[in-house]
Amino acid sequence: MDKIKSKKNNPALPDPISPFVYNILKEIGIDSNKNEGMLNTPKRVAQSFRFLTRGYQQDAAKILLQGSFSEKYNQMVLVKDIDFYSMCEHHLLPFYGKCHVAYIPNGRVVGLSKLPRLVDIFARRLQVQERMTQEIANAIELHLQPKGVAVVVEAFHLCIAMRGVEKQNAYATTSEMLGAFEKHERTRMEFLSFIHRNANR
Q: How many structural domains comprise the chain?
A: 2
Domain range for 141 is: 59-196
Q: Averaged over 80-89, what is the pLDDT?
A: 98
pLDDT band per the 50, 70, 90 thresholds, residue 199: low
In angstroms, the Cα distances linking 178 to 123, 129, 139 are 20, 17, 11
Number of neighbouring beta carbons within 10 Å of residue 154: 18
Q: Are residues 164 and 83 in the same domain?
A: yes
Q: Lowest-pLDDT range, 103-112, 171-180, 192-201?
A: 192-201
187 lies in some domain: yes
Q: Are residues 63 and 48 in the same domain?
A: no
Nearest to 123 by CA among 148, 147, 162, 154: 154
Q: Are residues 40 and 132 in the same domain?
A: no
DSSP string, 109-171: EE-TTHHHHHHHHHHSSEE-HHHHHHHHHHHHHHHH--SEEEEEEEEEEHHHHSSTT--TT-E
Q: Are residues 181 and 91 in the same domain?
A: yes
Report the distance separating Cα 86 and Cα 126, nearest Å: 7
201 lies in some domain: no
Q: Are residues 68 and 31 in the same domain?
A: no
Q: Are residues 85 and 40 in the same domain?
A: no
pLDDT at 128: 98
Q: Are residues 48 and 138 in the same domain?
A: no
* CB-based burial label for 156 (10 Å; 0-12, 13-18, 19+): middle
Q: Are residues 44 and 72 in the same domain?
A: no
Any idea what the CATH number is for the domain that residue 171 is in?
3.30.1130.10
* CB-based burial label for 90 (10 Å; 0-12, 13-18, 19+): exposed
Q: Are residues 21 and 107 in the same domain?
A: no
Q: Lowest-pLDDT range, 56-70, 136-150, 186-200?
A: 186-200
Q: Are residues 88 and 159 in the same domain?
A: yes
Whether the Cβ atoms of residue 174 and residue 99 lie closer than 8 Å to each other:
no
pLDDT at 15: 86
Q: Give the active site residues.
A: 88-91, 129, 157, 159
Q: Are residues 114 and 138 in the same domain?
A: yes
Any idea what the CATH number is for the domain that residue 36 is in?
1.10.286
pLDDT at 84: 98
66 lies in some domain: yes
pLDDT at 200: 55
121 lies in some domain: yes
What mean pLDDT value characterizes the chain? 92
Find the largest Cα–Cα distance for the chain. Answer: 65
111 lies in some domain: yes
Q: Are residues 151 and 86 in the same domain?
A: yes
